[in-house]
Structure 1
């Protein structure tokens, strides 16, 4: 069974429905004590990083997430909150995936980065199985994780940035797999199948 962590900073229904379409039993959890009983978990997030991290800390989630030893997937802001630090509100984050999140340097492009964009697979991993460079996924974000050793796939919008990251049992997707059609469904299935 998959837990979706409800910190009040995301529309969780679209994520839940995406997993249910893949035949998964999903439970939305609101207490960190519940997390340890699940086989895998999802941390969705939208909004401002500082507010979201404050809610995580106040709700007691920080320790529960860092001690979770099974697959955990962060989506959009949920991915950014797993990293070391974000410039959005000068906010220390969970530190379970190495890296720094900073504002996208979009140049003459419009911000936020919103819409379909290509992935570039940087290295093979169970999470990217069956996904090709040039497959497209749906993004909505203004801040991004700089590419580093945790980067599995990148994308580009004004600059190159991490689209999929993973370290140990923690993973993140900057885009919205639940809104990314067949490619998104493939990625969520990969998360379901991922053994750590």
Structure 2
């Protein structure tokens, strides 16, 4: 199986690569469009600020490549947010894969949210063998409000969509590579995914 982690200068790529290696697989880092298109699984990481990350994607043409991918794609943290329509962070237009906008937490909660929180309302094969209410690790100031593409939910001042799915695209707000056995199981499930539509997941 060919696994590619998109390399566009915004992501803690090495920790994801090590997490995949612990599962018995090797992952290649690449910004090459053809190599990304020919992968069996693609991981789209992201750490940093949405506006600058999108500028990096546009400068390499990857903003045009990612939405056309046909194999399972997993966006992590900022990667998931960039797959949405729009982010309040930097007034940024996203890739438009998920029909959702990204908003900033208000001042009623400590921002950023850093640490462990629960995922509930699990509704995808991405969460096979993961119990409702398991804890995952998050670091973020922006979130996706509950939406039709939601496959997991977290509460932090508000209920928000902590994981999304549409077609062959998946996104998680948390960091599976830092989420202990739960995150390891989610990565394992992603690597086992076949192409599924949202209706197939029901």
TM-score by length of 2: 0.93
Query: Residues 121 and 132 of structure 1 are in contact (CA less than 8 Å); yes or no, is this contact kept in structure 2?
Result: no
Q: CA offset at residue 122 of structure 1?
A: 4.4
SS at match of 1:54: helix
Q: Does 1:141 align with 2:140?
A: yes
Aligned match of 1:181: 180
Query: Residues 106 and 158 of structure 1 are in contact (CA less than 8 Å); yes or no, is this contact kept in structure 2?
Result: no
Query: Residues 43 and 73 of structure 2 are in contact (CA less than 8 Å); yes or no, is this contact kept in structure 1?
Result: yes
SS at match of 1:23: coil
Q: Does 1:13 align with 2:31?
A: no
Aligned match of 2:45: 44
The alpha-carbon distance between structure 1 residues 56 and 131, as it changes in their structure 2 partners (threshold 3 A), is same
Query: Residues 51 and 89 of structure 2 are in contact (CA less than 8 Å); yes or no, is this contact kept in structure 1?
Result: yes
Q: CA offset at residue 106 of structure 1?
A: 5.1
Question: CA–CA distance in 1 between the matches of 2:39 and 2:193?
Answer: 14
Q: Does 1:193 align with 2:201?
A: no
Query: Which consecutive residues of structure 1, in runs of 5 or more, have no partner in the other structure?
Result: none
Q: CA offset at residue 161 of structure 1?
A: 0.9
Question: CA–CA distance in 2 between the matches of 1:181 and 1:106?
Answer: 30
Query: Residues 41 and 72 of structure 1 are in contact (CA less than 8 Å); yes or no, is this contact kept in structure 2?
Result: yes
RMSD (Å), alpha carbons: 1.0
Aligned match of 1:111: 111
Deviations along 1:143-164, whole A, 9 cap, x unmatched?
Answer: 0111111100010111111111
SS at match of 1:183: helix
Q: Does 1:71 align with 2:72?
A: yes
Aligned match of 1:58: 59
SS at match of 1:3: strand
- Number of aligned residues: 194
Q: CA offset at residue 33 of structure 1?
A: 2.8
Superposition map of 1:80-159 within 5 A:
80-105=81-106, 107=108, 109-123=109-123, 125-159=124-158
SS at match of 1:165: strand
The alpha-carbon distance between structure 1 residues 89 and 181, as it changes in their structure 2 partners (threshold 3 A), is same
Query: Residues 150 and 165 of structure 2 are in contact (CA less than 8 Å); yes or no, is this contact kept in structure 1?
Result: yes
Deviations along 1:45-81, whole A, 9 cap, x unmatched?
Answer: 0111000001001111012111100000000000000
Question: CA–CA distance in 2 between the matches of 1:34 and 1:134?
Answer: 37
SS at match of 2:117: strand
Question: CA–CA distance in 2 between the matches of 1:121 and 1:191?
Answer: 18
Query: Residues 17 and 26 of structure 2 are in contact (CA less than 8 Å); yes or no, is this contact kept in structure 1?
Result: no
SS at match of 2:194: coil
